[in-house]
């Protein structure tokens, strides 16, 4: 054994090195635990969570033109768009027949949050938001209808 | 009744109890009447005041131990970059209370095939042995310690050994394989480390010349030096053996959560289990307090309770005895707390020893080191006394410096050399080396068999 090794053995250098490592860990600013229900975690910028159907901010009507592109793009087939042809007054020209959105079903239990639907959307109507609290008690409630998609789910606030 | 009190209880109480502090007498006088108090003064001195002291001590220590659990959880959390208990009260400060309520309200399970008498008794023995030791610990000056027995240190060691009995009984009476293994390991471990611990303090006792806890503290005040300066090696051995005595990591083989499912307390639940927990943390407190008393000067700190460089003490024991007592208690706590923190720090740093490593460390490293420490301390003490005068003299600075330097620069290398000599064959045995040797031995055996067949 070399002298260095003998020294480190008898003066317990290895043990002190270990103690040093654990002691340095105790920096309060480096704690990574989040106090979740009290403090909301910061999700990353490109995180994709709950879907949403955007409304026109001026008129309050839906931006969806019922083109069905999102349903076609979806690899899981979890989107179902329902429409009917109706005469609508649009751009001051009366009497034009158009596709109008009636129902929109989005199955969040099957969704893999790949964002292909949002990319396919020509009007930036469908969007995957940063909301991550998607858990629910029943399978049925994972299927979001148009009302939920447009106005968000009813969120039960955490109370003490 | 009167006869029993005066013939038996009074002389007994005289040896154990201290005198009642003035503030207690004043309080009693104002609460009842001065005449009654004067009439029953001896009863108050020998029975009532000690009982009050004991009740206070038990309450404070039990609370303290509960908060040690909280501290342990916090320390472990911070070391692992977590937050620890946060929900009950601000920063989780009421967590011990919640734990207590939970533990008391849990079902008390006694296994079908357990020994119905020993099983409930075992945790009680552990806890009683732990709490009995508190009666001689010098937490603070004058009325803050319950008694000053002239064999205080011996008493501490005797009772901390009894605590092990509880663990062994728990292991045996559970009638289950994991507790039994835990109990077996515990008994072997205690026997090995008690020796090293007992021998380690002998070196310090050469300087204190007394076993009384208060006497030890006063000696360090008079000589002007903490014993750790003279006994760095002794302190190290004492502390390591203390870790093993209290079943703390890296010597927690009796408990062995990951291999023995909790060891001796596997079959215990609810309140009985919490008694074991209480005993463990009390033992930790006791070892730290004894180390503080023996090596770190107890409740004295120069400049605060003792004169420093000609200046008078900040708190004078003659003029303000009560303040002096409380300040002493705080200083004692301030010295004990870092040691307890080191206990916790070790727990979350070091992995558990293997059983053979444990025995190796106990018998082949710590015990010889403690023995060598005794011989060297005695020799150096005599040499220093011969050439530089007595160490007890506070003015004799040269002898003190020579003694401490000799212990550090002469005695420690000699002890290390001796240990290297004793362990020269096995010192380098790590697991890879052991495998290599196993393989070599097997090959040798095979060769021998082949040779015999050829013959």
The residue in chain B having the minimum alpha-carbon distance to the alpha carbon of residue A11 is: B416
Top pLDDT among B49 and B274 is at B274
Q: Which residues of A touch B426 (CB under 8 A)?
A: none
The whole-chain average pLDDT of chain B stands at: 84
Phi and psi dihedrals of B310, rounded to 5? Answer: 85, -20
**Taking 80 as the threshold, does the pLDDT of residue A39 lie above it?**
yes
Output the pLDDT for position A136: 83
Q: Which residues of B touch A32 (CB under 8 A)?
A: 81-82
Phi and psi dihedrals of A88, rounded to 5? Answer: -125, 150
Nearest chain B Cα distance for residue A56, angstroms? 43
Q: CB A30 to CB B81 under 8 A?
A: yes
Nearest by CB to B83, from A15, A21, A31: name it.
A31
pLDDT digits (tens, 9 = 90+) for B192-214: 888 889 899 998 898 888 888 88
Nearest C-alpha neighbor of B133 from the set B162, B156, B161: B156
pLDDT digits (tens, 9 = 90+) for B346-402: 988 888 888 878 888 888 888 999 999 999 999 988 888 888 877 777 777 788 888
Output the pLDDT for position B139: 84
Spatial CB neighbours of A90, under 8 Å, sequence gap ≥ 6: A96, A98
pLDDT digits (tens, 9 = 90+) for B266-315: 888 888 888 888 888 988 999 999 999 999 888 888 777 777 766 667 77
Q: Which residues of B touch A33 (CB under 8 A)?
A: 77, 81-83
Nearest by CB to B416, from A10, A21, A26: name it.
A10
Count how many pairs of residues, chain A against chain B, have C-beta atoms within 8 Å: 39
Give the mean pLDDT of A148-152.
85
Span between the terminal Cα atoms of chain B, in Å: 91
Give the mean pLDDT of B71-76.
90
Angle at B337 between CA B263 and CA B344, to 5 degrees: 35
pTM: 0.81
Q: Which residues of B touch A30 (CB under 8 A)?
A: 81
The residue in chain B having the minimum alpha-carbon distance to the alpha carbon of residue A18 is: B349
Residue reference for tokens 């480096």: A30
* A6 vs B: CB within 8 A: yes
Contact B279, B120 (CB under 8 A): no
Give the mean pLDDT of B260-267.
79
* B428 vs A: CB within 8 A: yes
Q: What percent of chain B has pLDDT over 70?
A: 94
Using the CB atoms, write b or e for B112-134: b if 16+ within 10 Å.
eebbeebbbebbebbbbbbbbbb
Q: CB A21 to CB B349 under 8 A?
A: yes
Give the pLDDT band of residue A158 (cuts 50, 70, 90).
low
Output the pLDDT for position B226: 87
Give the mean pLDDT of B54-70.
88
Q: CB A32 to CB B79 under 8 A?
A: no
The residue in chain A having the minimum alpha-carbon distance to the alpha carbon of residue B80 is: A25
Nearest by CB to B348, from A9, A22, A32: name it.
A22
Q: CB A22 to CB B345 under 8 A?
A: yes
**Taking 80 as the threshold, does the pLDDT of residue A71 lie above it?**
yes
Nearest by CB to B79, from A10, A25, A32: name it.
A25
**Taking 70 as the threshold, does the pLDDT of residue B455 lie above it?**
yes
Tokens of A160: 């003490």
Contact B293, B213 (CB under 8 A): yes
Output the pLDDT for position B111: 86
Give the mean pLDDT of A4-17.
79
Q: Which residues of A touch B428 (CB under 8 A)?
A: 1
Nearest chain A Cα distance for residue B82, angstroms? 5
* A29 vs B: CB within 8 A: no
**Taking 70 as the threshold, does the pLDDT of residue B6 lie above it?**
no
Q: Which residues of A touch B346 (CB under 8 A)?
A: 19
**Taking 90 as the threshold, does the pLDDT of residue B448 lie above it?**
yes
Q: CB B350 to CB A28 under 8 A?
A: no
A43-52, A76-85, B424-433: least confident range: B424-433
Give the pLDDT band of residue B174 (cuts 50, 70, 90).
confident
Give the mean pLDDT of B45-49.
77
Determine which helix (DSSP H) or strand (DSSP E) holds B257, and give its type and residue range: helix B257-260
* B346 vs A: CB within 8 A: yes
Q: Which residues of A touch B427 (CB under 8 A)?
A: 9
CB proximity under 8 Å: B 133-162 to A: none
Output the pLDDT for position B447: 93
Span between the terminal Cα atoms of chain A, in Å: 63
For residue A133, give Cα distances in angstroms to A40, A129, A139.
11, 11, 15
Give the pLDDT band of residue B17 (cuts 50, 70, 90).
very low
CA atoms within 13 A on the CB side of B117: 0
CA distance B25 to B252: 47
Q: CB B350 to CB A18 under 8 A?
A: yes
Q: Which residues of A touch B345 (CB under 8 A)?
A: 19, 22-23
């Amino acid at each position: 054994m070399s002298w260095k090794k003998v020294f480190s053995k008898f003066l317990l250098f290895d043990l002190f090195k270990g103690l040093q490592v654990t002691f340095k860990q105790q920096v309060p600013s480096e704690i990574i635990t989040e106090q979740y229900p009290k403090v909301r975690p910061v999700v990353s910028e490109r995180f994709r969570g709950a879907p949403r159907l955007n409304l026109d901010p001026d008129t309050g009507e839906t931006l969806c033109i019922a083109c069905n592109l999102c349903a076609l793009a979806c690899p899981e087939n979890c989107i179902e768009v329902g429409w009917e042809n109706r005469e609508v007054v649009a751009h001051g020209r009366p009497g034009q027949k158009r596709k109008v959105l009636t129902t929109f079903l989005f199955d969040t239990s099957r969704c893999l949050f790949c964002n292909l639907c949002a990319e396919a959307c020509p009007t930036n109507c469908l969007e995957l938001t940063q909301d991550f609290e998607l858990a629910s008690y029943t399978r049925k409630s994972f299927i979001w209808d148009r009302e939920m998609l447009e106005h968000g789910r009813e969120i039960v606030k955490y109370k003490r | 009744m009167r006869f029993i009190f005066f013939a038996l209880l009074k002389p007994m109480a005289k040896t154990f109890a201290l005198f009642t502090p003035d503030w207690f007498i004043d309080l009693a006088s104002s609460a009842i009447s001065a005449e009654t108090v004067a009439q029953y003064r001896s009863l108050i001195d020998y029975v009532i005041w000690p009982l009050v002291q004991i009740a206070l001590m038990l309450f404070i220590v039990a609370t303290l131990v509960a908060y040690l659990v909280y501290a342990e959880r916090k320390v472990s959390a911070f070391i692992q970059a977590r937050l620890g208990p946060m929900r009950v009260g601000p920063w989780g400060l009421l967590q011990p209370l919640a734990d207590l309520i939970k533990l008391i309200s849990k079902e008390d399970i006694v296994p079908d095939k357990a020994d119905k008498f020993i099983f409930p008794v075992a945790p009680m023995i552990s806890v009683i042995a732990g709490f009995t030791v508190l009666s001689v610990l010098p937490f603070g000056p004058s009325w803050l310690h319950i008694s000053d027995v002239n064999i205080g240190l011996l008493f501490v060691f005797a009772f901390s050994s009894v605590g092990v009995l509880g663990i062994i009984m728990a292991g045996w009476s559970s009638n289950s394989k994991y507790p039994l293994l835990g109990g077996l390991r515990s008994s072997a471990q205690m026997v090995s480390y008690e020796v090293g611990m007992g021998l380690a303090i002998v070196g310090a006792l050469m300087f204190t010349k007394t076993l009384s806890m208060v006497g030890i503290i006063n000696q360090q005040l008079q000589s002007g030096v903490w014993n750790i300066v003279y006994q760095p090696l002794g302190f190290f051995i004492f502390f390591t053996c203390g870790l093993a005595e209290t079943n703390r990591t890296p010597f927690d083989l009796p408990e062995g959560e990951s291999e023995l499912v909790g060891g001796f307390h596997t079959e215990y639940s609810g309140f009985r289990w919490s008694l074991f927990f209480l005993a463990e943390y009390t033992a930790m407190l006791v070892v730290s307090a004894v180390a503080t008393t023996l090596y770190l000067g107890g409740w004295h700190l120069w400049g605060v309770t003792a004169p420093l460089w000609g200046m008078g003490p900040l708190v004078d024991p003659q003029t303000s005895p009560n303040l002096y007592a409380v300040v002493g208690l705080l200083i004692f706590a301030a010295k004990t707390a870092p040691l307890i923190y080191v206990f916790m720090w070790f727990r979350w740093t070091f992995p558990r020893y293997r059983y053979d490593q444990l025995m190796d460390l106990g018998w082949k490293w710590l015990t010889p080191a403690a023995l060598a420490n005794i011989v060297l301390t005695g020799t150096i003490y005599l040499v220093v006394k011969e050439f530089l005068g007595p160490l007890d003299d506070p003015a004799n600075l040269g002898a003190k410096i020579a003694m401490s330097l000799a212990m550090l620069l002469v005695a420690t290398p000699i002890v290390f050399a001796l240990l290297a000599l004793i362990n020269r064959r096995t010192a380098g045995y790590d697991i890879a080396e052991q495998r290599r040797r196993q393989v070599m031995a097997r090959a040798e055996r095979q060769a021998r068999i082949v040779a015999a067949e050829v013959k």
